[in-house]
Amino acid sequence: MKQLVILGAGTAGTMMANKLVKVLSPREWRITLVDRDTDHIYQPGLLLLPFGTYRKADLVQPRKRFVPSGVELNLGGFSHVDPEAQTVRLEDGSTLKYDLLLLATGTRIVPEETEGLTGAGWQKTAFDFYTLDGSAALAKKLEDWPGGRLVLNIAEMPIKCPVAPLEFVFLADAFFTKRGMRDKVEIVFATPLDGAFTKPRAAAKLGHLLVERKINVVAEFGLDTVDGERKVIRSYDGREENYDLLVTVPLHRGSAALDDSNLVDDSGFIETDRNTLQSRKYPNIFALGDATDLPTSKAGSVAHFQSEVLLPNILSFLDDKPLAASFDGHANCFVETGYGKGLLLDFSYDVEPLPGRFPLPGIGPFTLLEESYVNHWGKLGFKWVYWNLLLRGKELPIDHNLVLAGKWR
Amino acid sequence: METTMTNKLDLVLEQLARIEARQEAVEEFIEEMTPVATAMMGAGITTFADFEQRGYFEFAKEILRAVDIVITTYSIDEVRFFTDNAVLILDTVRNITQPDVLNLIDEAADAVHDAGDAKPVGAWGMFQATKDDDVRKGMSVALEIVRQVGRAASKMQSGESPIRKPRTGPSHRPAAPQPAAPVTPTAPTAQGAPTVTQATPAKAPDPGFLNDWTVEKAAEIAASIGIEFTPEHKTVIEWARADYIERKSSPNVRRITKGSGCDTRTLYQLFPGGPGKKVARIAGIPKPGGCI
């Protein structure tokens, strides 16, 4: 009996479990899916929670609901991976031996690694919206916040859902406008990148949104320390921005349990082949989702497209054949821009977000790099697709590789 | 008492069985429809991509714009007049666009073009010209046109309706040309899931990647942006370039500090004001960026 171990029962791990159980014979393979808690959180919803669109309960389901029969779910967590011995040590001390290991351990925020961030004022005047509790606390704060200087800060890349900070400021602008208090709020977007938009087409098409919505961009701001008493953030080159309300996207790292596995880089992200999704060090280890070091966005759509490449590659690997499927870095992300509208981005390693129509050329219905109501409905409607189709490993009629048809160059 | 319970339980079991059957049916439907949906999407993408390439959507947009212009330019009464007299208008257009008439206009236009070369004609020249058969014919046609215009003008002045009934009866004009047989776009021939054959874009040269980079060049670039290129700089720059070549993605400040061994504060001293960008520039690699 061969053993396949999947570490991580989030989006990527659950999808792969559902796909693999259909193609691996139960007489040959035992599949174990490991995670450390019971709740599966719909992370795209965390952006909308602070503004009252969702409540906590709307975004949580039990992990086991999406695990197919034939896959053993272990929610005790793991503490160590030994790729030489091909074992995984679980938190309860027991050991799992594997023939094939799939890493879908995701990424987590580490606000404690920024000096001062989790000190005075944390969760009182400084918040994150990347955790369920953080997002809920921010929602409570915004309910009766009287206004002032709102600073949205990205500590450093990579982060998951790289557009979420932009979405946040757009939604905040709409939120305060609807409450008739927009003139009492100054919104500042402090980013370590050299602008809110770093890609030329996107910058050309969308730059005006920041000006129109009166969002001030402070660029090249590498977050060094936070002074929660004075309510000031400080960059590595000595610049300071004061705030009344700080919404931070903290540093991200990979799973702590992989730190000593020899599989990860200095930030804890798994060193992965950018096309085959195989570990760059051990051929019987594969990785996908936020946990990798791939130079593409950390997003659910990316994990989905990766899963469609990973499945045939795993099967090829098991048959001793060359890994033919290749991931092209494809990502497809809805971006909320407030007032009931949104954008859609469709891009890959080699192709920046381009304008056009998706998925049908000329028809759409979604508009690329262009605000529309349809895009917003698409984003909201996706929640159903996520719980009912995506997680269960169902195919969607969207090519996993980027398609240039419909894009305007 | 017991029988009522068992009866109730039986009913519940029946209901559960029905719900389960329905659930299975829905699952099956999704399973069956997925490849169909994928195939339809592929076909749709190919077809609409073709339309877009050929300009159908741009054209349709212009038609909409034209309709909008007509609607905003003309009053509803004018549009009503237009629709009431559509046949007359179309007939007139058909008249004008008959091949022989078009030829006539074409020749006349040529004559206008060539008019620059014409020498001025005096009375004697006119007398000479009337001996030319073509000129005679032309004068006859011109007179006929003038006569018709005069007749129509009289009618207008006397208040008769300017709208003529469309000409009935045999016409001495040649029959209107038949419209060409409609061309149907060839339907996608793929069975199963057609792949959209888009040539993957030839890998565009990375903007910002210098192919002929050397350490000396790095020193030059550094000097040009006011940075003195010390061995400490060199270590960082060489690491960054190697990292880009391996991962095909430019390292940001955090990655540079973790990988090159240079801590953040020192990095900001070595490359003041945006080390991410400066390191990239000196190392001849694209600047680090996000997805958007």
- Chain B residues with beta carbon closer than 8 angstroms to that of A363: 44, 48
Catalytic residue, chosen from B5, B181, B183, B291, is B291
State the pLDDT at residue B207: 65
Q: Which of A220, A237, A403 sits opposite B45 (nearest CB)?
A: A403
> For residues A409 and B182, which has the higher predicted lDDT (pLDDT)?
A409
Compute the nearest-CA separation of B281 from chain A (Å). 13
3-state SS of chain A is CEEEEEECCCHHHHHHHHHHHHHCCCCCEEEEEECCCCEEECHHHHHCHHHCCCCHHHHEEEHHHHCCCCEEEECCCEEEEECCCCEEEECCCCEEECCEEEECCCEEECHHHCECCCCCCECCCEECCCCHHHHHHHHHHHHCCCCEEEEEEECCCCCECCCHHHHHHHHHHHHHHHCCCHHHEEEEEECCCCCCCCCHHHHHHHHHHHHHCCEEEECCCCEEEEECCCCEEEECCCCEEECCEEEEECCEEECHHHCCCCCECCCCCECECCCCCEECCCCCEEECHHHECCCCCECHHHHHHHHHHHHHHHHHHHCCCCCCCCCCCCEEEEEEEECCEEEEEEECCCCCCCCEEEEECCCEEEEECCCEHHHHHHHHHHHHHHHHHHCCCCCCCCCCCCCCCCECC
Q: Which residue type does B239 have?
A: W
Closest CA–CA distance from residue B179 to any residue of chain A (Å): 28
Residues B49 and B201 sit within 8 Å (Cβ to Cβ): no
Note whether B291 contacts A331, CB cutoff 8 Å: yes
B262 is catalytic: no
Q: Do B288 and A157 touch (CB under 8 A)?
A: yes
Minimal Cα–Cα distance from B279 to chain A, Å?
Answer: 13
Q: How far is A208 from chain B (nearest CA, A)?
A: 15
Q: What share of chain B is helix, strand, coil (3-state, %, to 5)?
A: 65, 0, 35
Between residues A106 and B93, the one the model is more confident about? A106
Of A198, A206, A405, the CB nearest to B198: A405
Dist. CA A298–CA A286, nearest whole Å:
17
Calpha distance A287→B138 (Å, rounded) = 86
Q: How far is A257 from chain B (nearest CA, A)?
A: 19
Distances B112 to B105, B106, B118, B126 between C-alpha atoms, Å: 10, 10, 10, 18
Query: Is the CB of B48 less than 8 angstroms away from the CB of A351?
Result: no
Per CB-CB distance under 8 Å, the chain B contacts of A189 are none
A192: nearest CB among B44, B203, B253: B253
Q: Count residue pairs from A and B with Cβ separation < 8 A.
A: 133
Pairwise CB contact (< 8 Å): B249 & A295: yes
Calculate mean pLDDT across residues B228-242.
Answer: 92
Interchain pair B274, A194: CB under 8 A: yes
Chain A residues with CB under 8 Å of B239 CB are none
Contacts of B264 in chain A (CB under 8 A): 222, 224, 236
| C-beta atoms of A265 and B34 within 8 A | no
* Separation in Å, CA of B28 to nearest CA in chain A: 12
Rounded Cα–Cα distance for residues A281 and A264 (Å) = 10
Residues of A in contact with B258 (CB under 8 A): 265-267
B-chain residues within 8 Å CB-CB of A236?
Answer: 253, 264-265, 267-268
| Local confidence band at B27 (pLDDT 50, 70, 90 cut-offs) | confident
Does residue B187 have a pLDDT over 80?
Answer: no
CA–CA gap between residue A13 and residue B88 (Å, rounded): 71
Task: Pick A295's closest partner by Cβ from B195, B247, B264.
Answer: B247
Q: Chain A residue closest to B277 (CA)?
A: A194
pLDDT grade for B1, boundaries at 50, 70 and 90: low
Reference B218, options B271, B163, B160; nearest CA is B271
Convert B119-141 to b/e letters by CB count within 10 Å (16 or more is b).
eeeeeeeeeeeeeeeeeeebeee
- Asked if A361's CB is within 8 angstroms of B48's CB, the reply is yes
Q: Does residue A158 have a cis peptide bond before it, meaning omega lies within 30 degrees of 0? A: yes
- Region B212-225: what's the mean pLDDT? 90
Q: Which residues of B touch A222 (CB under 8 A)?
A: 253, 264, 268
Q: Which of A330, A345, A391, A399 is the mutation pick for testing B, counting most B CBs within 10 A?
A: A399
CB contact under 8 A, A163 and B289: no
- Determine whether the interchain pair B41/A398 forms a contact, defined as Cβ–Cβ distance below 8 Å: yes
Asked if the Cβ–Cβ distance from B247 to A202 is below 8 Å, we say: no
Residue B75 has pLDDT above 90, yes or no: no
Q: Do A403 and B287 touch (CB under 8 A)?
A: no
Contact A192 B248 (CB under 8 A): no
Q: What is the DSSP letter of B1?
A: -
Q: How near does any CA of chain A get to the CA of B195, in Å?
A: 9
Q: Which residue of B has its CA nearest to A296?
A: B291
Per-residue pLDDT at B164 exceeds 60: no
Least confident of A203-207, A353-357, B204-208, B279-283: B204-208
Give how far A105 is from chain B: nearest CA, Å.
20
- For residue B162, the model assigns a pLDDT of 53
* Cβ distance of A162 and B258 shorter than 8 Å: no
Residue of B nearest to A403 (CA): B198
- Taking residues B279-287, report their average pLDDT: 91
Which residues from B are below 8 Å from A295, CB to CB?
Answer: 247-249
Distance in angstroms (rounded) separating the CA atoms of residues B83 and B232: 82
Contacts of B273 in chain A (CB under 8 A): 220, 237
CA distance A317 to A323: 7
Which pLDDT band holds residue B205 (cuts at 50, 70, 90)?
low
pLDDT tens digits for chain A (409 residues)?
999 999 999 999 999 999 999 999 999 999 999 999 999 999 999 999 999 999 999 999 999 999 999 999 999 999 999 999 999 999 999 999 999 999 999 999 999 999 999 999 999 999 999 999 999 999 999 999 999 999 999 999 999 999 999 999 999 999 999 999 999 999 999 999 989 999 989 999 899 999 999 999 999 999 999 999 999 999 998 999 999 999 999 999 999 999 999 999 999 999 999 999 999 999 999 999 999 999 999 999 999 999 999 999 999 999 999 999 999 999 999 999 999 999 999 999 999 999 999 999 998 899 999 999 999 999 999 999 999 999 999 988 899 999 999 999 8
The mean per-residue pLDDT over the stretch B37-44 comes to 89
Report the distance separating Cα A99 and Cα B119, nearest Å.
99
**Residues of B with Cβ-Cβ distance to A362 under 8 angstroms:** 48, 51-52, 56-57
Indicate yes or no: CB of A362 within 8 angstroms of CB of B46. Answer: no
